[in-house]
Amino acid sequence: MQLSSILAPERTLCNLPGVSKKRFLTTISEHIAKTTPGMSADAIYTALLAREQLGSTGIGNGIGIPHCRVAECQRTTGALITLSEGIDFDAVDSQQVDLLFVLIVPVEETAEHLKVLGALARLFHQDAFCHALRACKSNDELYRTAIYFDEKSD
């Protein structure tokens, strides 16, 4: 999986204010819907919230990978976000989350969903990658850094 195939500059957000998990999910659902034709914020939010209720997608070390399948999604879509301050995300290590990758996948793409999640988990388990993302000061820098590390790790 190439990160550039699912992530776009307009879905890369640096230093968003950290408020709460639900507020984050609302904000990012609205942003993804606004930048992705054919998807509604309500459908995205409902699916993300339902997935979080099954168990937190906070994987530890300040990282969250909220993900879900959405019926109106036509192609796998990602959003990369850093928060200005961490939020409680019910992570496995109880640490606050400040680095997130939101993944929206078409309903019928179960195998693709698991494949992309695995690739994202490997990428986010690299300390240098996470450190570089957290050091970014702009949306563009965040996008370019993520793509650079992804291409370098191939």
Q: Where are the domains of the chain?
A: 3-152
Bridge partners (DSSP) listed for residue 82: 99
Confidence of residue 1 (pLDDT cuts 50, 70, 90): low
| pLDDT score of 9 more than 80 | yes
DSSP letter at 3? Answer: G
The string of DSSP letters for 51-113 reads HHHHS--EEETTEE--EEEETT--S-EEEEEEEEEEE----TT-PPEEEEEEEEEETT-HHHH
Confidence of residue 110 (pLDDT cuts 50, 70, 90): confident
Would you state the pLDDT for residue 154?
61
Q: Which of 67, 113, 125, 131 is catalytic?
A: 67
pLDDT (tens digit per residue) in 23-56: 999 999 999 999 998 999 999 999 999 999 999 9
CATH code at 3-152: 3.40.930.10
Bridge partners (DSSP) listed for residue 13: 81
Segment (H or E) for 15 = strand 7-16
CA dist 77 and 143 (Å) reads 14
Q: Look-up: residue for tokens 């996948």? A: 105
| Residue 125 annotated in active site | no
* Side chain identity at residue 128, one-letter code: A
| pLDDT score of 124 more than 70 | yes
CA dist 93 and 66 (Å) reads 16
Q: Under a CB-based contact definition with an 8 Å cutoff, are residues 38 and 107 in contact?
A: no
pLDDT (tens digit per residue) in 68-102: 999 999 999 999 999 999 999 999 999 999 999 99
Helices (H) and strands (E) in the chain, counts: 5, 6
Mean pLDDT, the chain, as a whole number?
94
**Rounded to an integer, what is the distance from CA 23 to the centroid of its chain?**
15
Q: Under a CB-based contact definition with an 8 Å cutoff, are residues 146 and 12 in contact?
A: yes
Confidence of residue 18 (pLDDT cuts 50, 70, 90): confident
